[in-house]
Amino acid sequence: MVKLRQDRWKAQDGSNRSKLKVVGQMIRFDGSTWKERSEKWLKFLKGELKKFSL
């Protein structure tokens, strides 16, 4: 399963920085077209992004 992880740290100027990383295994969509695969991937990422307050 793939997860989004938000890394946060303090920069040298004192500001808060954050970065989103996609971590985990590759998702396989067997027997589907490239369009179906990309739509499923985008839907998944949008759902994961809602978990973060950006």
The full set of domain ranges for the chain reads 2-49
Q: What is the mean pLDDT of the chain?
A: 77
Asked if residues 34 and 22 have their Cβ atoms less than 8 Å apart, the reply is no
Question: Tokens in use for 10?
Answer: 């303090």
The pLDDT of residue 33 is above 60 = yes
pLDDT of residue 27: 57
More confident residue, 50 or 37: 50
Cβ–Cβ under 8 Å, residues 3 and 27 = no
In sequence order, what E strands does 1-54 have?
A: 2-10, 16-24
Q: Which of 10, 16, 31, 52 is nearest to 40 (CA)?
A: 31
* Separation between Cα atoms, residue 23 and residue 5, nearest integer Å: 7
